[in-house]
Amino acid sequence: MQLAIFFVLAAITTVAGIIMVSADNIARSIYSHVLALLGIAGIYLLLYAEFMAGVQVLVYAGGVSIMLLFALMLTKPAKGVIRALDHPRRVPAFITAVVLFGLLSFSIFQAKWPLKVEPSRVMTPEVIGKSMFADYVLPFEIVSVILLVALIGAVVIGVKGREDTDDEE
């Protein structure tokens, strides 16, 4: 039964991901994004990682998707002619994606996967927190600096974009 549920959730996540990147309408893309994240949360539940499933739903499916919807509502629509997606690098990008998919598939099917893996310890929020701040301090700090730089970059780009639109009006 779990295997059937897994395949249903994996199919939902995959189809939602494909719709997300190929949708012409940005709102449809955001809704597909939410559906893909909810599918991933369902897979977490199948793995008995209830905390991770809750974080997935609250932070990603909830918070990030609401942020995307606000960004969609608060941005001005593009003026002028919107170019089609006939980019000269479209075919090489597709070929690269197919080759990478083939390499990953080959690697996955050639690996010797253990039939059953015993969990080393129960992953409670307490264990995750202690591990994050004791064993993984440096990666945690590196990620926090990268996020800070991305936030500052977004603010700078937003301010420059607003100044440019103010000059046009």
Output the CA–CA distances (angstroms, integers) from residue 101 to 30, 92, 138, in the order listed.
25, 14, 32
Q: 65-74 and 26-46 helices cross at what angle (nearest 10)?
A: 170
Q: What is the distance of C-alpha 69 from the center of its chain?
A: 15
The tens digit of pLDDT for each residue in 6-23 reads 999 999 999 999 999 888
Residues 53 and 40 sit within 8 Å (Cβ to Cβ)? no
Per residue in 63-87, pLDDT (tens digit) is 887 888 777 777 776 666 556 556 7
pTM of the model: 0.60
* Contact (Cβ atoms closer than 8 angstroms) between residue 38 and residue 61: yes
CA dist., res. 136 & res. 147, Å (int): 17
